[in-house]
Amino acid sequence: MKPIFTTLALFGLAMASQAQEQQSDSLHGKKVVLDEVFVSAIRVTSETPVTFSNLTKEQIKPRNLGQDIPILMNFLPSVVTTSDAGAGVGYTGIRVRGSDATRVNVTINGIPYNDSESHGTFWVNMPDFASSTESLQLQRGVGTSTNGAGAFGASLNVLTDGISEDAYGQISSSIGSFNTLRNNLKFSTGLLNDHIEIAGRLSRITSDGYIDRASSELDSYFLQGSYKDDNTLIKAILFGGHEITYQAWYGIDATTLESDRTFNPSGIYTDADGNTQFYENEVDNYKQDHAQFLWNEKLNDNWSTNIALHYTRGRGYFEQFKEDDDFATYGFTPINVDGELVDETDVIRRRWLDNDFFGTVFSANYVNDKLNFIIGGGYNKYEGDHFGEVIWARYASDSTIRDRYYDDSSTKTDFNIYTKANYKLDDKWSLYGDLQYRTVAYQANGEDTGLVDDTFNFFNPKAGVTYNLNQNNNLYFSYAVANREPNRNDYENGNPEPEKLNDFELGWRYVTSDVQVSTNVYYMNYKNQLVLTGQLNDVGAPLRENIGDSYRLGLEIDANVKLGEKFQWSPNIALSTNKNRDFNFERDGVLQDLGDTNIAFSPDVVIGSRFTYSPTENLQLSFLSKYVGKQYMGNIDAEGSVLDAYSQSDFNVQYVIECDSFIKSITLSGLINNIFNQENVTNGYFFTYDDDFSNPSTITTIEGAGYYPQAGTNFLVGATLNF
């Protein structure tokens, strides 16, 4: 640990916020982009006692060469990311303050995006979405009241492309390691008659992936029509994607990690001659389409309103080859073949999801010199079908093609209403209050979940105070309560309880034209936290369990420092301790009190840095680095569950060629990931099982682990033509 704290000492007070605000001379007066009215109800500023970071289109652009949004967020404070395929294309994941994606609330233009049942965010369903993102804000901790599931580690709200006053066209292509290829087309009509704009994007990304057969074929689109006048802003948006990815969610054991890092066991089977084969179509195939209608109305100098209607249609399956599977799984009747009773068969099956999600979110905002008051809420409903089909069987018994061997449905309704206010007592002090009521009803009838009919009622209060020392410094303190319902997978382990979080945040911000600093201390105290056990279910989803009392205590510091006219440094560091209190575990048939143990997947140290050199206005060179400390993949502090610390350094370049012709400019970009060729493992799983139940005195607890290796040195290069 000594080198880490030496590094921290070198950072000193210069450490702090990467993009807490757009650069300015003070904490006041950030210019509001027109389209930001759609997220104003759930976004915060430096006047709010909430810990946050912003990331803008201009900051995303140099590295936006086809990788998912979580990978592009990798260098924000307390963020840890991973990629199943090993190179940032396909299935990717994000954790914030040790909390996994199921407890990071995500909204797009204020509309919930997390899957209603799993609570996860599947960016693979929206490939190249960064190319249609105007900005995003990551609020760490509980944050402010928002729509959708409660934030238990962070909330991420994404604002899509703003209105362009001028017409443009754009062609972008990038290529890279593992046969990665990204192409997209973008356009805007500009403002027609000063009021109407139509804009859109088409994208396609393909990649073989670093892991064997972890290929991706990703298509997406984005189309919006906008209307604006002095008091009205209306948008109709359609976007969506279709992904076909070869499954890579099984990971590999420690022995295989040493001998064959890219091995993928997915689809493995033995043919009639005893040879090992891999099923060629062991894929995840899913489509998701979104429709949003957004309307902001300025009623007068003080009042404005937002209302949005939305609808999401999702459908798709993952396909599997299953060798020597039991007839009983599929309801097959045993048959006689050549005089022998057969009750096992090879099958190819598809496990389907077919769902609809729709609803409305709304808010009204009152602003004067002292008060910023918002009342808002939302009502959303999810209807989902889960079913399995057999599309081929070596011995099909009396079944027919696409017979459903399971068929269940689920519904979920989510209503919330909140009111929040920021009141300036004087030039120094301001008070913040936020009250939310949320009710959730969930019904399911799956074999994995059992019969579920639960209703949850949550009250989530928040309060805080901000003190402005002067125009460059402010201090804030906040206390927030969050409650959250279990997800579908939690019901596999029995009867889960809802979880509760009390979050305390104390912070300091410092902003000048050359230096922006943010530092904060947090204490997150949980009751019945649903922590990751380290285990996965049969579709690769992480399993969780209630663990009683637990907490996260941490320090975060991030900064943006101008070093003269050409250099800029944006470092950040997060130090934390994350503990389960008095954790009990049954080992070798005996229940043991392990005392305070580490919460799974919660590193004590996360450090990020971005150093940028701009020798000319059109050339930008960036060196980015990330260090993630040791993690445990389970909650019992077993040595076999350790995920070693790792570091990664990337090099990014962007050069803009100005043209005086039909082509206005050409932007050339390059990204070398993991330039020091580190053999990193960013994710994994850990499991235990008892080898003998027949005699309690001889029970032995067996431990095992799996790992997801990431690519060594790899690259992406691209060019964008702007018309």
Task: Quote the CA–CA distance of 499 and 440 in Å, as a whole number.
Answer: 14
Under 8 Å between Cβ of 714 and 210: yes
Helix locations, 2-157, DSSP H: 2-11, 57-60, 69-72
Task: Quote the CA–CA distance of 357 and 289 in Å, as a whole number.
Answer: 10
**87 token code pair:** 């190179």
Beta bridge partners of residue 162, listed in sequence order: none
pLDDT of residue 539: 72
Residue 400 banded pLDDT, cuts 50, 70, 90: confident
3-class secondary structure, 6: helix
Task: Quote the CA–CA distance of 421 and 499 in Å, as a whole number.
Answer: 26
**255 token code pair:** 């022995």
Beta bridge partners of residue 298, listed in sequence order: 304
3-class secondary structure, 192: strand
Residue 693 banded pLDDT, cuts 50, 70, 90: low
Residue 28 banded pLDDT, cuts 50, 70, 90: very low
CB-based contacts of 99, cutoff 8 Å, min separation 6: 152, 153, 154
Measuring CA to CA, which residue among 640, 656, 669, 674 is closest to residue 722?
A: 656
Which domains, from first to last, does the chain contain?
A: 2-722 (2.40.170.20)
Q: Is the pLDDT of residue 30 over 50?
A: no
Mean pLDDT computed over 502-511: 97
CA distances from 229 to 35, 305, 309, 443, 671 (A): 13, 15, 21, 44, 41
Segments of 327-399 assigned E as strands: 335-337, 340-342, 344-367, 371-393
Q: Is the pLDDT of residue 421 over 50?
A: yes
Mean pLDDT computed over 152-173: 94
DSSP of 409-444:
EEEEEEEEEEEEEEEESSSSEEEEEEEEEEEEEEEE
What is the DSSP secondary structure assignment for residue 162, as one 8-state letter?
Answer: P
What is the DSSP secondary structure assignment for residue 125, as one 8-state letter?
Answer: G
**462 token code pair:** 């928040």
Task: Quote the CA–CA distance of 261 and 248 in Å, as a whole number.
Answer: 13
Task: Quote the CA–CA distance of 438 and 418 in Å, as a whole number.
Answer: 9
pLDDT of residue 641: 94
Under 8 Å between Cβ of 410 and 442: yes
Under 8 Å between Cβ of 145 and 481: no
CB-based contacts of 441, cutoff 8 Å, min separation 6: 411, 412, 413, 454, 455, 456
CA distances from 252 to 544, 633, 709 (A): 21, 14, 9
Measuring CA to CA, which residue among 181, 261, 249 is closest to residue 216?
A: 181
Distance of CA 302 to the CA centre of its chain: 35
Measuring CA to CA, which residue among 351, 346, 348 is closest to residue 323?
A: 346
Q: Is the pLDDT of residue 304 over 90?
A: yes
Beta strand 631-632 pairing with 642-643: antiparallel
3-class secondary structure, 342: strand
Q: What is the pTM of this model?
A: 0.92
Residue 161 banded pLDDT, cuts 50, 70, 90: very high
Using the structure block, give the residue that is written with the tokens 């982009």.
Answer: 33
φ and ψ at residue 20, rounded to 5 degrees: -60, -35
Beta bridge partners of residue 170, listed in sequence order: 186, 722
Which helix (DSSP H) or strand (DSSP E) does residue 256 occupy? Answer: helix 254-259
Mean pLDDT computed over 94-98: 95
CA atoms within 13 A on the CB side of 405: 24
DSSP of 9-21:
HHHGGG---SSSS
- Least reliable range by pLDDT among 110-114, 179-183, 345-349, 584-588: 584-588
Task: Quote the CA–CA distance of 451 and 699 in Å, as a whole number.
Answer: 32
Mean pLDDT computed over 231-240: 97
Q: How far is the first Cα of the chain from the last one, in angstroms, to the nearest whole number? A: 52
pLDDT of residue 86: 96
Helix locations, 316-389, DSSP H: 327-330
Measuring CA to CA, which residue among 393, 371, 332, 310 is closest to residue 113?
A: 310
Cβ neighbour number for residue 165 with a 10 Å cutoff = 12
The CA-CA-CA angle for residues 237, 235, 150, to 5°, reads 70
Residue 32 banded pLDDT, cuts 50, 70, 90: very low
Task: Quote the CA–CA distance of 573 and 557 in Å, as a whole number.
Answer: 5
Mean pLDDT computed over 590-596: 88
Distance of CA 415 to the CA centre of its chain: 23
Mean pLDDT computed over 290-313: 97
Cβ neighbour number for residue 616 with a 10 Å cutoff = 9
3-class secondary structure, 27: coil
Task: Quote the CA–CA distance of 707 and 29 in Å, as a whole number.
Answer: 47
Using the structure block, give the residue that is written with the tokens 């009521």.
Answer: 437
**1 token code pair:** 């640990």
Mean pLDDT computed over 279-286: 97
**424 token code pair:** 């300036």
Task: Quote the CA–CA distance of 682 and 516 in Å, as a whole number.
Answer: 30
pLDDT of residue 14: 34
Whole-number mean pLDDT of the chain? 91
Q: Is the pLDDT of residue 524 over 60?
A: yes
Measuring CA to CA, which residue among 238, 224, 228, 374 is closest to residue 306?
A: 374
pLDDT of residue 17: 37
Label residue 363 left, alpha or beta by phi (over 0 means left) and psi (-120 to 50 means alpha).
Answer: beta
Cβ neighbour number for residue 530 with a 10 Å cutoff = 27
φ and ψ at residue 131, rounded to 5 degrees: -70, -10
For the segment 317-330, what is each residue's pLDDT rounded down to a tens digit?
A: 999 999 999 999 99
pLDDT of residue 11: 35
Q: Is the pLDDT of residue 18 over 60?
A: no
Residue type, 52: F
